[in-house]
Amino acid sequence: MNDDLLRRIPIRDAARRLEGVVRRTPLAPFSVPDVRVELRLKLECLQETGAFKARGAWNQIALLSERERAAGVVTVSSGNHGKAVAWAAQRTGIRATIVMPANAYPNKIAACREFGAEVLLGETRAAAERLCAERVAAGATLVHPYDAERTLQGAGTVGLEIAEDWPELEVLVVPVGGGGLLAGSALAIRQTLGRRVLVVGVEPEGAPSMKLSLEQGRAVTLERITTQVQGLCPPGAGRLNTEICGLAVDAIVTLPDEDIFAAQRELVLRGGWTVEPAGAAAYAAVLAGKLPTLVTHARTPDNRVRIACVVSGGNPDPAQIAAIRA
Do 163 and 38 fall into the same domain?
A: yes
- DSSP letter string, 28-82: EE---S-TTEEEEEEEGGGSGGGBTHHHHHHHHHHT--HHHHHH-EEEE-SSHHH
Which residues pair with residue 183 across a beta bridge? none
What pLDDT score does 4 carry?
77
CATH number of the domain enclosing 108? 3.40.50.1100
CA-CA distance, 50 to 170, in Å (whole number)? 27
Q: Indicate the pLDDT class of residue 42, thresholds 50, 70 and 90.
A: very high
Q: Indicate the pLDDT class of residue 2, thresholds 50, 70 and 90.
A: low
* Better-predicted residue by pLDDT, 305 or 326: 305
Instruction: Flag whether pLDDT at 36 surpasses 70.
Output: yes
CA-CA distance, 165 to 153, in Å (whole number)? 19
Q: Which domain holds residue 155?
A: 3-51+150-325
Question: pLDDT per residue over 99-149, tens digit each?
Answer: 999 988 888 899 999 999 999 999 988 899 999 999 999 999 999 989 999
Do 72 and 210 fall into the same domain?
A: no
User: What pTM was computed for the model?
Assistant: 0.95
Do 45 and 84 fall into the same domain?
A: no
Do 128 and 178 fall into the same domain?
A: no
Domain stops at, among 80, 114, 145? 145
Instruction: Flag whether pLDDT at 1 surpasses 70.
Output: no
Mean pLDDT of the chain: 94
Domain stops at, among 106, 127, 145? 145
- Let me know: does 152 contact 240? Beta carbons within 8 Å: yes
Q: Indicate the pLDDT class of residue 5, thresholds 50, 70 and 90.
A: confident
What pLDDT score does 3 carry?
67
Number of domains composing the chain: 2
Instruction: Flag whether pLDDT at 235 surpasses 90.
Output: no
Q: What is the mean pLDDT of residues 144-157?
A: 94
Do 129 and 206 fall into the same domain?
A: no
Do 321 and 180 fall into the same domain?
A: yes
Instruction: Flag whether pLDDT at 150 surpasses 70.
Output: yes
Do 123 and 78 fall into the same domain?
A: yes
Question: pLDDT per residue over 172-202, tens digit each?
Answer: 999 999 999 999 999 999 999 999 999 999 9
Do 193 and 130 fall into the same domain?
A: no
